[in-house]
Chain A
Amino acid sequence: MRLTRQLKVTLALIGLASLLITAGAHAEPPLPDIPKGKGEQCVEPTPVMRKQHFEFILRHRDLTMHEGIRTKKYSLVECINCHVVPNEKGEYPRFGSDEHFCSSCHNYASVKIDCFQCHADKPESAYGKAKGKFNHALGGSNPHHFSNKAAGPLSKGDLELVSAENNSHE
């Protein structure tokens, strides 16, 4: 009888200890160190982008390839333009390094993507205009959601369009 009680107490203590340990681990899980991109806000709210970014990119890929739709929102080139930023040495991190926006998280989550076997992993501005006379930048250095700043105040019509676009996700 006494032995059973002692066993019960020991078991309860072990259980409590393990609970405390797991609780401690939950408080500070190891998170990927995601580089901060340009600008304040991505094209969709951050939780939406976290969960659905690839659905947007995949859909846009097919629209661009087959229908020639080349809007900048959801374009992979524009993702890279904002999100891949130079490190302290001023070099652009390559895909695969933890400093690269995409791989910082994909390495953490063990998700293998093959976008960058074909696509450039650096922003357009990293290439410079001098490299090839005919490599015209297509406005990439000015990512689309802040490129209108220089154009002066937005007209009422523009504002309507912009707000319609922001609501388009709902």
Chain B
Amino acid sequence: MSNENRIDTYRRKLLGGGAALVAGVTIAPGVILNTVAQAAKPGDRPLDRPVDDSVRWGLLVDANKCDGCEKCVTACHETHGVKSHGRPETDAQWIRVVKLRDRKTGYEQQLPVMCQHCKHPPCVDVCPTGASMKRADGIVLVDKHICIGCRYCMMACPYKARSFIHESLEGEQLPHAPRGKGTVESCTMCVYRVDNGQQPACVEACAAEHGEEGKALIFGDLKDPNSEISQQLKKYGGKQIRADLKLDTGVRYQGI
């Protein structure tokens, strides 16, 4: 009942906005066009409404702008309480900065790699329990409540995006990043931040470090042609890593 009521208020707001629009058209059509063209932002959805496929969240990484400062890695791991246990081989890694070097020319590039949030995620295909899942808005997650820690998804992921938690973490977790021994985890595209109208931590950290002009990470709705990410992709294009696998990744790269 409460949900229905809230949805009604949401609809009313929408209708109210629509009425204002109609009124506005007669006065200043140009201005109104701008409001119509406003891109979908995280937090547009009321929190009591389920996510739907009207948006698809994506990330755009500009390798030309990335200087490998790893601020995104620090921000991600701080936000989610990911700490090293002194064993780099098994430490959880939600995002990492990869260095590419052209052997012939010696040209070097750095870029962050994380879960690519595929449209057809192999990790979801192989999961025997249904723990590995894709949310309607394109974010690929692990439901740790039903994860049995078999690590098939880690094998299936072509991007090595997933980590397994080997250590007991009791008492070390942060309220919005529950993590526990025996489950697999990966980049969540900061799902709780996005739901609450914020940008992912890596994107925020990158913009804070390099400014609006120099930032290497853009987050937004791939389905909305007016979002910053779609505009950038339209203008300069973007590549998927291992595009040959036809996974239709939500994370795109420029300059590689």
Contacts and interface: CB of A to CB of B under 8 A. Distances in A.
Contacts of A135: 78-79, 174
Interface in B155-195: 168-171, 173-176, 178-181, 183, 191-193, 195
Interface stretch (B30-38, B137-145, B233-241, B244-252): B137-145
A80 interface: yes
Interface string B195-207: 1101001001100
Interface string B1-24: 110011001000000000000000
B63 interface: no
A116 to B, nearest CB: 7
7 contacts: A65-B141, A67-B135, A69-B48, A70-B47, A116-B171, A127-B175, A134-B205
Nearest to A67: B50
B179 A118 contact: yes
B51 interface: yes
B133 interface: yes
B175 A68 contact: no
The 5 closest A-B pairs by CB, nearest first: A118-B180, A67-B50, A68-B51, A132-B78, A165-B2
A135 B80 CA distance: 8
B204 A66 contact: no
Contacts of B169: 117-118
**Which of B9, B176, B179, B192: most chain A Cβ within 10 A?**
B176
B75 interface: yes
Given A66-B135, A132-B79, A134-B79, A77 B175 contact: yes
**Which of A63, A65, A157, A168: most chain B Cβ within 10 A?**
A65
B210 to A, nearest CB: 16
Given A117-B168, A118-B183, A165 B195 contact: no
Contacts of B195: 68, 70
B180 A65 contact: no
A123 B1 CA distance: 29
Nearest to B201: A134
A69 B47 contact: yes
Nearest to A132: B78
A133 interface: yes
A100 to B, nearest CB: 11
A151 interface: no
